[in-house]
């Protein structure tokens, strides 16, 4: 039975290495695409600004002034844009103040007008609030016994990020923190700001993207070793 000439067998044997030579090229191509996508994502990813209360003063709690009827609260908010090459457009920033010395109840709120902040820039916004509903008996009792009154600050706004020549969609930002106030009416450790933090879960997108890329590259590598014919075209 005629099975073909030796020349045909020789050609067939030569075609296999030539086909296999395409596999490393495709692997390198796919790996390069994955790395490019990862680097682009890292360069475009954004982070919310860091918010902190740098100054907090309640004159009515200052024993040396003896002005218990003064209901004004003074504060300074610091916003730090730590993004590289990405500016931030703030919508109006809403601040809510809560008395947490005995329970938790609203004592005032205010709004800071929206503004634009360049990348790597810091902004300080000062303001004051006429408070109401403060549990004065509990607050004065707390500070008069060399203790501390506790107040809460909640911040809510939406931000857009400026990346080169375009803006992202709005992203809601909600952070908060507690401030301890002494018998001078100021926050404990006046030189150190109180960072406002989010209760939301940390963004796990970075880990997901990296994990997917690593698994994809490993899959390509194992498939090439176990099933080399898959990559023949």
DSSP 84-110: SSEEEEE-PEEEEEEE-SSS-EEEEEE
57 in a domain, yes or no? Answer: yes
Alpha-carbon torsion, ordered 186, 187, 191, 194, to 10 deg:
-150
Query: Does position 226 have pLDDT exceeding 60, yes or no?
Result: no
17 in a domain, yes or no? Answer: no
% of residues, the chain, pLDDT over 90: 52
Complete DSSP assignment for 45-81: ---PPEEEEEEEE-GGG-TTT--TT--EEEEEEEEE-
138 in a domain, yes or no? Answer: yes
111 in a domain, yes or no? Answer: yes
**CA 224 to CA 15: how far, in whole Å?**
18
Q: What is the DSSP letter of 231?
A: G
What are the C-alpha distances in Å from 89 to residues 44, 115, 184?
A: 16, 6, 36
Q: What is the DSSP letter of 201?
A: P
**Best CA proximity match to 44, nearest among 217, 156, 157, 205:** 205
For 80-105, write each residue's pLDDT tens digit.
999 988 999 999 999 999 999 988 99
77 in a domain, yes or no? Answer: yes
152 in a domain, yes or no? Answer: yes
Q: What local confidence, expressed as pLDDT, does residue 152 receive?
A: 97
The domain spanning residue 64 has which CATH number? Answer: 2.60.40
Pick the more confident residue, 140 or 202. 140
Confidence of residue 230 (pLDDT cuts 50, 70, 90): very low
Confidence of residue 208 (pLDDT cuts 50, 70, 90): low
What are the C-alpha distances in Å from 83 to residues 86, 122, 146, 190?
A: 6, 11, 42, 27
Rounded to 5°, angle at Cα 77 from 163 and 193: 105
| Domain ranges, residue 207 | 47-211
Pick the more confident residue, 6 or 138. 138
150 in a domain, yes or no? Answer: yes
- Domain total in the chain: 1
155 in a domain, yes or no? Answer: yes
Query: Does position 121 have pLDDT exceeding 90, yes or no?
Result: yes
Confidence of residue 66 (pLDDT cuts 50, 70, 90): confident
């Amino acid at each position: 039975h005629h099975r073909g000439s030796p020349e045909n067998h020789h050609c067939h044997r030569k075609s296999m290495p030539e086909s296999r030579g395409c596999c490393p090229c495709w692997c390198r191509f796919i790996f390069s695409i994955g790395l490019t996508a990862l680097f682009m994502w890292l360069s475009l990813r954004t982070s919310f600004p860091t918010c902190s209360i740098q100054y907090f003063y309640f004159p009515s709690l200052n024993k040396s002034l003896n002005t218990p009827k003064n209901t004004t609260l003074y504060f300074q908010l610091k916003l730090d844009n730590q993004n590289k090459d990405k500016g931030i457009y703030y919508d109006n920033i809403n601040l809510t103040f809560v008395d947490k010395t005995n329970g938790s109840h609203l004592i005032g709120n205010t709004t800071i007008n929206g503004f634009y902040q360049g990348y790597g820039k810091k902004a300080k916004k000062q303001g004051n609030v006429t408070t109401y509903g403060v549990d004065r008996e509990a607050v004065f009792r707390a500070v008069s016994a060399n203790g501390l009154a506790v107040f809460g600050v909640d911040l809510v706004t939406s931000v857009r990020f400026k990346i080169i020549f375009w803006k992202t969609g709005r992203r809601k930002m909600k952070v908060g923190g507690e401030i301890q106030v002494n018998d001078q009416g100021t926050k404990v450790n006046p030189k150190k700001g109180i960072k406002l933090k989010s209760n939301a879960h940390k963004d796990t997108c970075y880990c997901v993207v990296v994990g997917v890329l690593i698994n994809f590259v490993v899959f390509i590598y194992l498939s090439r070793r176990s099933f080399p014919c898959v990559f023949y075209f």
